[in-house]
Structure 1
Amino acid sequence: MMGTNSQSTTTETEGDVHAPVQCSNDTAVCIASVKGLKENWQKWSSEHQQYQKHNPFSHDARPSVVAPQTRQDDYGRPLQGSLTEQRGKDAHTHISREVQELCKVIRNIGELKDKDGDGSGSSGKVITVEFGKLFEHYVTISNKLVGILIRARKQRLVDFEGEMLWQGKDDHVVITLVNRNLD
């Protein structure tokens, strides 16, 4: 008894909608559906190969892949106008606000001292605060105090000894607000 077994397959139509096709003795329908699947697979494969030619992380070593030049001004920067560039600008703005807030907190809770620390007063005055005191006041504002301090030091707004500050261990490290307009 031939022709009693039937299989159900899925094909993609032009609108990418999966429509079931019944395969039975009518092999023309099955061949048409397999042919459609093969064409769709070939199309995807060709598109993927083209994409991989431009992917710098692909193992496809084609000369058409343009390697980034380290001496270019835009090396390591996102494409202009991209969402990545916008997110970077937004993050920079956010961090700048946090650094400004940190400097305000140091001004409010810090103590005015001689800049050179020897009491001669020859170098002017600076505002200083110990890390432990700053941590107690600042922890309710942000949980990223150490990272913001490092960023502020990189911008030459504050100064302190050591690379990293640890709560408890470095509570007595003096943080100096570097600002010439304190008087």
Structure 2
Amino acid sequence: METGDGVSAPAQFSDNTAECIVSVKGLKENWQKWSDEHQEYQKHNPFSHDTRPNVVVPQKGQDDYGRPLQGSMTEQRGKDAHTHISKEVQELCEVIRNIGEPRDGDGGGSDGKVITVEFGKLFEHYVTISNKLVGVLLRARKQRLVNFEGEMLWQGKDDHVVITLLQ
């Protein structure tokens, strides 16, 4: 570092050098720690190219087959996604309750009435809320909250398909 008269200040320069050495040393230690952790993780990863015999490959039918490791970030993202879609399904059911019409049905309500709405009407109301209406409807049907004819609903073609709120 230079002072105002153009002379270097050696004491400050050596302090900066010491700081650089500490920083590089810290970077090296952090990199080595990450590398060691990654190598250990790869030992247990059945999809790595590691050919060690102690790698256990999950088999179909096992409880943990097709599931992320407990406590992993992948597991947390899955839980967060499940919570988010559950909220969207509940919101969809509320929209159907609000815009649907009560009709006589076979079950559903305690008084023998169910709430129904045509897909076209639901699409027009729900499109401002979410652009994933059909996916949320399929999820709600899988959870037995709604029912409708057909495997998939298409805007325009299926506007008159009746969607029944089951719960």
Same fold flag (TM > 0.5): yes
Instruction: Measure the CA separation in 1 of the matches of 2:130 and 2:48.
Output: 41
Which residue in the other structure is 1:93 paired with?
A: 83
| Structure-1-length-normalised TM-score | 0.63
Off by >3 Å, runs of 4+ in structure 1: 14-17, 47-55, 58-62
Residue 138 (structure 1) aligned to one of 126, 144, 160: 126
Q: How does 1:119-138 map to 2 (within 5 A)?
A: 124-138=112-126
1:161-180 matches, cutoff 5 A? 161-179=149-167
Gaps of at least 5 residues in structure 2 are 1-23, 28-34
Greater relative contact order (Cα < 8 A, sep 6+): 2
Task: Give the 5 Å matches for 1:10-89.
Answer: 15=25, 54-89=44-79
CA radius of gyration, larger in: 1
How far, CA to CA, are the matches of 1:136 and 1:145 in structure 2?
10
Aligned to 1:147: 135
Percent of pairs identical after alignment?
83
SS of residue paired to 2:124: helix
Task: Encode CA deviations 1:108-152: one digit per residue, 9 max, x unaligned.
Answer: 100111115xxxxxx821100000000000000000000000000
Q: Check 1:92–1:48 CA distance in 2 against 1; reply closer, same or farther (3 A cut).
A: closer
Amino acid at match of 1:101: E
Over the residues paired in the alignment, what is the CA RMSD in angstroms? 2.7
Quote the Cα distance in structure 1 between the aligned partners of 2:50 and 2:72. 26
Query: Higher helix share goes to which structure?
Result: 2
CA distance in 2, matches of 1:79, 1:60: 18
- Describe the superposition over 1:38-75 as per-residue Cα deviations: whole angstroms up to 9, x where unpaired: xxxxxx8xx99877654423455442221113232222
**C-alpha distance 81-60 of structure 1, shift in aligned 2 (>3 A):** closer
Is the 8 Å Cα contact of residues 58 and 64 (structure 2) preserved in structure 1? no
User: What SS does the aligned partner of 1:113 have?
Assistant: strand
Paired amino acid for 1:165: L
Structure ranking higher in strand proportion: 1
CA distance in 2, matches of 1:48, 1:172: 55
TM-score, length-normalised on structure 2? 0.69
Match of 1:115 in 2: 105
1:48 and 1:82 map into 2 onto residues whose CA distance is 14
